[in-house]
């Protein structure tokens, strides 16, 4: 475990270092005396588990301490990719006015500020608790290049582990409540890449957004993807067809207005979209597999459900809060947005979480049609559609996507 102390008072550094090393002798504790030194350190050093940051810091040795340098520093290390963001950051200050001014910025990033004092050791006890938690919960997971989110462990994540041969492990904890599968594969340029596969505890937008945000902030992957199953329109698609979510639209988002004394729902038209570079790469993939997407069927054993005319398409996918099994609701969604080709419960939240992440990030979602959300809805095609979605992810990542 590695801890970085950023403070311009040598006596305080000695005291903090002593408090940590007395309880945790195997922990590596290093320090920087200015903001500029800390920037250089984070530019050159990965895997800092905890940074203890004095709020009233000098930019360099020839400047006076000022909170503005510290606030600019924390914004820089979050937004600028060259800095390796510590996994945990704790602010430390003896000045109440500094704490009040910095509190909002720290709370936005889910960080903590401790009150330093020479007369009591409450701050030291808090630091020991933080270090103890990190030590006890630190996993042996490697640097992660890619994360995959599925709404369901079965059949969606199971299909990835079965049909995408990426040397998957068993479940591993990444914190006290979340477990993932770890895998590795070789990208198209011959480099080994590490990947995590996770599913939230429940389906739906809220749980998906929470898990996605957690994975991004814990591991800072270059790319994150979502795969799985969705409902389609009989007139537009067939069972097993794979849809790349060019855009995601939350059909529950909008407002009610009174019309002839009756409440009428007016849906929002806002959509979350793929980034241009990913959209273009999927165009290349669709062109390459235009007449041969069905070739993936060779890897699936249950011939009774195979669609020999499989298609790969890019379209708007509608996201909502409900599992649908009536054609009337599907028709209403299509009436509002004619470009919708599939309906499911997570992608809009997944895209929104990705777009809010402050670091550089590529993201996409691909889901395959397993039913038509009508009275004939059943689970017969869920495993097959999970398979076709998983193969789309694999083909895209291994054959078209460029890692840094």
Measured distance CA(382)–CA(380) in Å, rounded: 6
Determine the Cα–Cα distance for residues 9 and 401; give it in Å rounded to an integer.
47
Q: Which of these, 378, 400, 82, lies nearest to 225 by C-alpha position?
A: 400
Residue-wise pLDDT for 190-219, tens only, equals 999 999 999 998 889 999 999 999 999 999
Q: Which residue in this structure is represented by tokens 């462990």?
A: 153
Q: What is the mean pLDDT of the chain?
A: 90
pLDDT digits (tens, 9 = 90+) for 136-162: 776 555 689 999 999 999 899 999 999
Give the pLDDT score at 185.
97
Q: For residue 234, is pLDDT > 90?
A: no
**What is the pLDDT, as a whole number, of residue 248?**
92
Residue in the block written with tokens 């062109």: 287
324-362: pLDDT as tens digits: 566 666 667 766 666 888 999 999 999 999 999 999 999
When mean pLDDT is compared across 155-164, 269-278, 369-378, the lowest value belongs to 369-378
Structure confidence at residue 327 (pLDDT): 62
Model pTM?
Answer: 0.66
Instruction: Check pLDDT > 80 for residue 99.
Output: yes
Q: What is the pLDDT of residue 111?
A: 83
**Residues 292-330: pLDDT tens digits?**
999 999 999 898 999 999 999 999 999 887 665 666 666
Give which of 210, 225, 164, 228 is closest to 362, Cα–Cα: 225
Positive or negative, the CA dihedral 16, 19, 21, 23 is negative
CB 178 within 8 A of CB 139: no
Question: What band does 132 get if pLDDT is binned at 50, 70 and 90?
Answer: confident
Taking the C-alpha atoms of residue 44 and residue 83, their distance in angstroms, rounded to an integer, is 8
Top mean pLDDT of 195-209, 268-282, 317-331, 389-403 is at 389-403
Asked if residue 398 has pLDDT above 90, the reply is yes
Non-local (6+) Cβ contacts of 101 within 8 A are 67, 71
* Angle between helix 276-288 and 382-399 (nearest 10): 110
- Name 40's Cβ contacts closer than 8 Å, sequence gap at least 6: 32
């Amino acid at each position: 475990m590695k801890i970085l102390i950023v403070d311009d008072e040598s006596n305080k550094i000695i005291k903090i270092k002593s408090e940590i090393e007395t309880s945790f002798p195997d922990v590596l504790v290093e320090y920087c005396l200015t903001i500029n030194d800390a920037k250089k350190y984070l530019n050159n050093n990965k895997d800092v588990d905890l940074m203890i940051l004095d709020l009233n810091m000098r930019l360099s040795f020839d400047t006076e301490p000022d909170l503005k340098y510290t606030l600019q520093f924390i914004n820089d290390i979050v937004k600028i990719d060259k800095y390796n963001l510590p996994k945990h950051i704790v602010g430390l200050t003896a000045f109440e006015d500094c704490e009040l001014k910095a509190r909002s910025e720290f709370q936005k990033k889910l960080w903590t500020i401790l009150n330093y004092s020479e007369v009591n050791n409450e701050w030291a006890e808090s630091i020991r608790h933080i270090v103890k938690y990190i030590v006890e919960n630190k996993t042996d997971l490697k640097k992660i290049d890619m994360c995959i989110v599925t709404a369901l462990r079965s059949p969606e994540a199971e299909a990835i582990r079965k049909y995408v041969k990426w040397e998957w492990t068993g479940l591993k904890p990444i914190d006290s409540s979340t477990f993932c599968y770890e895998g590795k594969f070789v990208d198209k340029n011959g480099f080994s890449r590490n990947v995590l596969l996770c599913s939230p505890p429940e389906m739906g937008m809220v749980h998906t957004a929470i898990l996605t945000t957690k994975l991004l902030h814990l591991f800072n992957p270059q790319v994150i993807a979502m795969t799985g199953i969705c409902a389609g329109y009989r007139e537009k698609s067939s069972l097993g067809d794979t849809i790349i979510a060019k855009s995601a639209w939350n059909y529950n988002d909008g407002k009610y207005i009174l019309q002839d004394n009756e409440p009428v729902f007016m849906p929002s038209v806002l959509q979350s979209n793929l980034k241009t570079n990913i959209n273009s790469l999927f165009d290349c993939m669709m062109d390459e597999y235009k007449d041969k997407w069905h070739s993936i069927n060779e890897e699936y054993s249950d011939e009774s459900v195979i669609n020999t005319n499989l298609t790969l398409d890019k379209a708007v996918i509608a996201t909502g809060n409900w599992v649908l099994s009536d054609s009337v609701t599907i028709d209403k969604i299509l009436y509002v947005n004619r470009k919708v080709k599939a309906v499911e419960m997570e992608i809009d939240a997944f895209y929104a979480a990705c777009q809010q992440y402050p670091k550089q990030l590529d993201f996409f979602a691909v889901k395959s049609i397993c039913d038509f959300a009508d009275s004939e809805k059943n689970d017969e095609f869920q495993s097959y559609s999970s398979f076709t979605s998983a193969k789309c992810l694999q083909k895209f990542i291994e054959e078209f996507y460029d890692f840094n």
